[in-house]
Structure 1
Amino acid sequence: MKTKTEGAFIYADESGNSGKYIFKEESPIYYQGAVISVGNIESKVKPIIQRYCTENGLERLHGYELGEERVNNLCLDLLEALEGTQWQFHYTIIQKRYIAATKFVDTVFDCWDNPAVHPFWYTTELLRHTLCILIDDMMEDNLAIEFWNYYLKDDLNGLIKICQTLLEKAPYIFDKRACEVVTEGLDYAIKNPDIFTLISAKGKSAYKKQTPNIIAFSSLLTATHRFCKEYEVSVSELIHDQSDEFKGTMKEYHKMFFDVDFEEDKFGGIPKFKQVEYDLGTFSLESSKKSYGLQVVDLFLWLIQRDIKDKNLQETKIKILNNSDEFIISRSMSLAIIQARQFQLMQQELTPDMIKKAEALEKKIEAARQAAMQK
């Protein structure tokens, strides 16, 4: 891959830090934001931030301390300073309680572990998100909280108990095929508890890998690869706002997974993974006092989070969104993905040859699944 001399610089910050506590009513949403740019933006934004801090006796900029009018004026100045720079604002939004449903699906309905689940139901976006919505619907009466506690403790008996409770609810699933998949998948898990891959309590910090913080960090690594491919650059530096709780896990994830990228399947199927061919630069955690880029992210992220009524602030928010890339995990996003994939499939013209190949593939998959069930 040809790369330009200047590499990509990534400045990332977060808001709504939750760790393993995903059911706090006062903080239901987790946000992460990052400015990704070709070249270092520090020298471009430094004069604006320094001047404002000096005039107002501030050590650094925090959106929540400044108020809407000041944030608006600062963002406009910063956007003007970034003109001529190739940059993008990547943000992640996670509905924290919905993580419980997605983790349950990953734990119980992973077709590679549970042969009772047809691979299409786990490997395609349309059907996997359908499972997530069904499980979220069924996890009422604090069942999601119970599951999450068992999950973080690697409590196998507790997980089986949750499966048994959900199995009692499964007959009420309206869609016949979905009812079969959920019923058969839960029943197999209950009868074959060895399929559970328990990873949350294997080590003092293992649970951190299951949190919104690390899910968002993973999405940032993927977004960085997209940016690098688009602008044909390597990575120079990734700077994340300091996090005492997650610094070790972030460094581990950066080391283990950052050199792998994937190409999405156009129908939402299994992506193709491959090793990247460019330099990955350095990774560091810093205080925003030392990074003007991190302070820019703080202001942009503060603005993105808010339901704004002021017209001027709305226009500024739109300017940022027009140059943004998003990753969202939520119930409403799952429903949107289901609707979009259904529409996509309905519009797809299927040739006789495509149908013939699909039937042959289905027979092969089903034979392998039945063989696995009989082991």
Structure 2
Amino acid sequence: MKEKEDGVYVYADESGHSGKDIFNEQSPLYYQGALISAGDIEPIVSPIVAKYCDDNGLDRLHGFELGEQKVNDLCVELLDALRDADWQFHYTIIEKSYIAPTKFVDTIFDSYDNPAVHPLWYLTDLFRHTLCILVDDMMEGDLDKTFWGYFLADDSDGLIEVAKILLERAPFIYDPRACEVVMEGLSYAIDHPEIFTLVAAKGKSAYKKQTPNIIAFSSLLTATHRFCKPRGLGVKVFVHDQSDEFKGTMREYHNMFFGVDYEEDKFGGIPKFEQVEYDLGEFKLESSKKSPGLQVVDLFLWLIQRDIKDQNLLLTKSRILENADDFRISRGMSLAIIKARQLQIMRQEVTPEELEAGKRLNKKILKNQMTKMK
């Protein structure tokens, strides 16, 4: 392998492509995987990939074409070859239909736009995910699909019609305070639809920014920062499997957002953003035929997706997961975040001084809300 000072290399591939179609029952999950390494892994993996392709008359490796046993043998050989390399496998899993309720929350309950929503309910993990779960519960009877169609069309009138239906259902929310927040937020949105700026239809490709593909791409940009920062390295090359539909949006995100990193708040509140100081590298979209690195990602990602019973495959999968980092968007993940944040808060000791400071801040926030609403 080249020296680590050469920089970080990223090879990324996706599976379960959806675009706007987030309700395809045949493909409920979207996966993206990436191999991030200090120094280029292609000189290590290329001989293994090339030999297998030559021996079997293949132009590239695809996990779904090879089957479990062949993929397992190849992955074992690749993992052994990468034993001394500094690498990480980042993967994203998105429950595609869950994008609809989360986008509704982002549109209606964003406290920057809707002054009836206390910032605590939108800007902290615990309460924002609570809103997502509540909206998901209320969007029964294909209301989520109805909303998604209106959202992609930038149909404000349709969006407000969905809000009215949810307002009728909101009184059945079990928690009194959550019920109050949802009803006040929906009521204000219905009475003031002009405050919401919809952007999904602003331009031919604007909708792409709302899709699982770009959401996952954003998570990969963050994961790359997490890899680079502790190593003091910049990015040398960022290679993504070619995507005709999303290539422009990916380039835009790489240029505009990759230069900004953030530090998470320990309680899941507003993160602290900062400009990165290292090189962001060259962004390339390539066919996997030309990139052994992308073919390795394809195999690893294929194995990650599998519900495996075979012990040999389980062992190989565990070797990948030992060196992996994940990002998930799903109803189950929202519930897990809610439970984890509740436990964190219950265990946190609060001094009388901190309690009084919190009360003063809350009074100030409420005063600002009332001013905006008037």
Q: What letter corresponds to residue 282 of structure 1 in structure 2? A: E
The match for 2:337 is 337
Amino acid aligned to 1:292: P
Q: Given that residues 10 and 36 in structure 1 are in contact (C-alpha distance below 8 angstroms), is that contact kept between their aligned partners in structure 2?
A: yes
Deviations 1:186-218 (A, max 9, x none): 000000001212100000000000000000000
Identify the residue that residue 58 of structure 1 maps to in structure 2. 58
Task: Compute the displacement of 1:4 (Å).
Answer: 5.9
Aligned residues with identical type, % of pairs: 68
* Counterpart check, 1:184 vs 2:192: no
| CA RMSD, Structure 1 to Structure 2 (Å) | 0.9
CA distance in 1, matches of 2:220, 2:202: 25
Please report how far the alpha carbon of residue 35 of structure 1 lies from its aligned counterpart in structure 2 after TM superposition: 0.1
Q: Secondary structure in 1 aligned to 2:5?
A: coil
Q: Which amino acid aligns with 1:273?
A: F
SS at structure 2 position matched to 1:5 = helix
Task: Give 1:229's aligned residue.
Answer: 229
Q: Is the aligned partner of 1:241 residue 2:241?
A: yes
Cα offset, 1:230, TM superposition: 2.1
> Equivalent residue for 2:5?
5
Structure 1 residue 358, shift from structure 2 partner: 0.9
Deviation of 1:357 after TM superposition, in Å, equals 1.2
Which position in structure 2 is the counterpart of 1:286?
Answer: 286
Secondary structure class of the residue paired with 2:240 = strand
Contact 1:12 1:33 in 2 (8 A): yes
Q: Runs of at least 4 residues of structure 1 off by over 4 A?
A: none
- For the residue of structure 1 that corresponds to 2:94, the secondary structure is strand
Alignment partner, residue 49 of structure 2: 49
For 1:162, the equivalent position in structure 2 comes to 162
Residues 268-302 of structure 1: per-residue CA shift (max 9 Å, x gap): 00000110010101101000001000000000000
Partner of 1:296: 296
Q: Which runs of 5+ in 1 are unaligned?
A: none
- Higher mean alpha-carbon deviation, 299-308 vs 228-237, is at 228-237
- Give the conservation status (yes or no) of the 8 Å contact 1:98–1:136: yes
Q: TM-score scaled to structure 1, two decimals?
A: 0.98
Partner SS state of residue 283, structure 1: strand
CA drift of 1:84 comes to 1.1
CA shift digits 1:297-356 (9 cap, x unpaired): 000000000100100000100110011000000000000000000000011011111111
Shift of 1:6: 2.1
- How many residue pairs match? The answer is 372
Alignment of 1:93-132 (within 5 A): 93-132=93-132
Using the alignment, how far apart are the partners of 1:276 and 1:116 within structure 2?
Answer: 35
Q: Which amino acid aligns with 2:299?
A: L
CA distance in 2, matches of 1:368, 1:175: 25
- Alpha-carbon distance in 1 for matches of 2:238, 2:365: 42
Matches of 2:197 and 2:220, distance apart in 1: 26
For the residues of structure 2 that align with 1:26 and 1:5, how far apart are their CA atoms? 44
SS of the residue corresponding to residue 97 of structure 1 reads: helix
1:4–1:232 Cα contact (<8 Å) kept: no
Partner of 2:81: 81
Runs of 5+ in structure 2 lacking a partner? none
CA distance, structure 2, for counterparts of residue 195 and residue 38 of structure 1: 46
